[in-house]
Structure 1
């Protein structure tokens, strides 16, 4: 009986040491991954990286991580001399494969990501004298309100939408007011201020935008992909 108690104590001690070593190893790996993402993306500070699953050491031995969560920072896109800034792209990578020498991550079998686009940033990216705000819902879908600056047409407002196409975000006016369609060139001038698209080429490879929802607090963006390459 005494021998059994000693054995149980040893098992508990060894198990505790293994857990401690495993947690130290995963923390070091998270810090290293965060540094690589910071350097590859040119971020001012290292993002938050969290490696899920236990034990971590056995995952490393198999060169495959169950799940990795990463705060990839902001994404920027330039169009017509204006920069669109998308805040805090957060991604979850599943079934992540490590390189043969364990020095880098090769790819993830699948990934999902979310981000938020503020109306202030959308306004700034749309050009001078244009304002973009929340426009309520129509048919259950969120809309945006776009206020272009057109001479002789004060307080002009049109409803529009923000949509996703691959790695591109598009802002479009849904229709042109009747009063403007009667004036030569007016519709074109409105479209110049209301219709824009921005290619988000800083997204991890094979991660594509699939849903955009306009709400009172901003535009929510989601993306999914398979065989996704992690930055860094």
Structure 2
């Protein structure tokens, strides 16, 4: 009985040490992965990386992590001289293969969400254009309202939100007849129709769908072979 008690105590102690070592190791790995992700995506702030699943050490031995969660706030995405700030970003990366320590990590697949406020969309729009909520069209297409001025006249139009690859585009559904009648459609569209790239997100992560809300755009993202750190 005494021997069994001693064995039990030893098992509990070793188990506790294993758990402690496991948690310390995962903490170090998360920190290093976040640092590499910051460098890879050229971010001004370090994102938060959370490695789920237990034990972590057995996942490391296998060379693949089941699920890694990444989050970041206030991502400034640049497109030449234009900028589009991402207010919040959250993603789950599945089947993350590790190599070169923790400095290289590629996920089999990933999905998540990026949220962009209308204030940030307005800053990214052509000069003098304000972007605001407009709900969806009768066909369900997400859209926004663009307001501004053209040749001294007030302009207010509804624009469809179009995703393509890693870009967000706004295209006016229609223009005021008084402007199109004067043959000014091309000039007006040159001012209010625009496309911005959403960069500084993990490579191979594409924009898949968008929903407009009263506070901004909620953009779903997803992809395969998504690079967390390189």
- TM-score normalised according to structure 2 size: 0.91
Aligned to 2:13: 13
Alignment of 1:26-175 (within 5 A): 26-73=26-73, 74-78=75-79, 81-99=81-99, 101-139=100-138, 140-154=140-154, 156-175=155-174
Query: What is the rounded CA distance, in whole Å, between the counterparts of 2:60 and 2:176 in structure 1?
Result: 60
Name the stretch that deviates more: 46-55 or 197-206.
Answer: 197-206
Q: Is the 8 A contact 1:110 1:228 kept in 2?
A: yes
Q: Is the 8 A contact 2:33 2:102 kept in 1?
A: no
- TM-score normalised according to structure 1 size: 0.90
Aligned to 2:203: 205
Query: What is the rounded CA distance, in whole Å, between the counterparts of 1:228 and 1:143 in structure 2?
Result: 29
3-state SS in 2 of match to 1:129: coil
Offset of 1:78 from its aligned partner? 2.0
Query: What is the rounded CA distance, in whole Å, between the counterparts of 1:55 and 1:25 in structure 2?
Result: 10
Q: Is the 8 A contact 2:105 2:229 kept in 1?
A: no
Offset of 1:2 from its aligned partner? 2.1
Query: What is the rounded CA distance, in whole Å, between the counterparts of 1:197 and 1:111 in structure 2?
Result: 24
Which stretches in structure 2 are left out of the alignment for 5+ residues?
A: none
Which stretches in structure 1 are left out of the alignment for 5+ residues?
A: none
- Per-residue CA deviations over 1:153-195 (Å, capped at 9, x if unaligned) read 32x211112221111111111111222221222x123211221
3-state SS in 1 of match to 2:201: coil
